[in-house]
């Protein structure tokens, strides 16, 4: 089977990128922007909150190695899907939780997994993860790509991203490369 692509927004794209880069079967992760109305936005424009875009990652994966449903379970486990427009100290619509589906099959799977997570009791508050069709994805500036791997010693990486990766390894160690 050919590779597939999914687009996910779970707060800061540096965090989300680092998580998905570590999964066996993931071939490529690109940080970028989607879900808004501005063509080819810049990081500064997205941070203004005026573009409507979310920071997101586009994940290319081999579904024979890691199924789409499994990617979604990792997504829900490694960010807080119950906070509207916020992940930790990152606040604004650009930090919303969202799944941008590529086709009807992805939409159905995303609805199913989101419902299961919401009904599981894992969170005290309801899941607010948005589901929307992918319209356009704009890759972020080059300095945002592969951020954690190039800046692991940076304080934000140590305080915010490294704990997410520990959570990933604890919950999904068998899936990591």
Which residues sit opposite 99 in a β-bridge?
8, 131
pTM of the model: 0.95
In the chain, the number of structural domains is 1
Q: List the structure tokens of 66.
A: 């890691």
**Catalytic residue list contains 12:** yes
Joined together, the tokens standing for residue 39 give 């063509």
Residue 91: domain span: 4-175
**What is the chain's pLDDT, residue by residue, as a tens digit (177 residues)?**
689 999 999 999 999 999 999 999 999 999 999 999 999 999 999 999 999 999 999 999 999 999 999 999 999 999 999 999 999 889 999 999 999 999 999 999 999 999 999 999 999 999 999 999 999 999 999 999 999 999 999 999 999 999 999 999 999 989 997
Among 12, 15, 47, 157, the active-site one is: 12
Q: At 87, phi and psi to the nearest 5?
A: -135, 110
Q: What is the CATH number of the domain that holds 95?
A: 3.30.1060.10
């Amino acid at each position: 089977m050919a590779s597939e692509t999914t687009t996910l927004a779970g707060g800061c794209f540096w965090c989300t990128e680092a998580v998905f880069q570590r999964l066996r079967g993931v071939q490529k992760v690109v940080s970028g922007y989607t879900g808004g109305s501005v063509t080819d936005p810049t990081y500064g424009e997205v941070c203004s909150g005026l573009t409507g875009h979310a920071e997101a990652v586009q994940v290319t994966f081999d579904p024979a190695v890691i199924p789409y449903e499994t990617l979604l379970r990792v997504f829900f486990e490694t960010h807080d899907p119950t906070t509207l427009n916020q992940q930790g100290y990152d606040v604004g619509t650009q930090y919303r939780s969202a799944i941008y589906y590529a086709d009807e099959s992805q939409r159905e799977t995303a609805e199913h997994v989101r419902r299961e997570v919401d009904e599981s009791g894992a969170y005290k508050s309801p899941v607010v993860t948005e589901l929307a069709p992918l319209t356009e994805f704009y890759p972020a500036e080059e300095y945002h790509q592969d951020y954690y791997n190039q800046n692991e010693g940076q304080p934000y990486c140590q305080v915010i991203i490294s704990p997410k990766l520990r959570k990933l390894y604890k919950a999904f160690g068998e899936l990591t490369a």
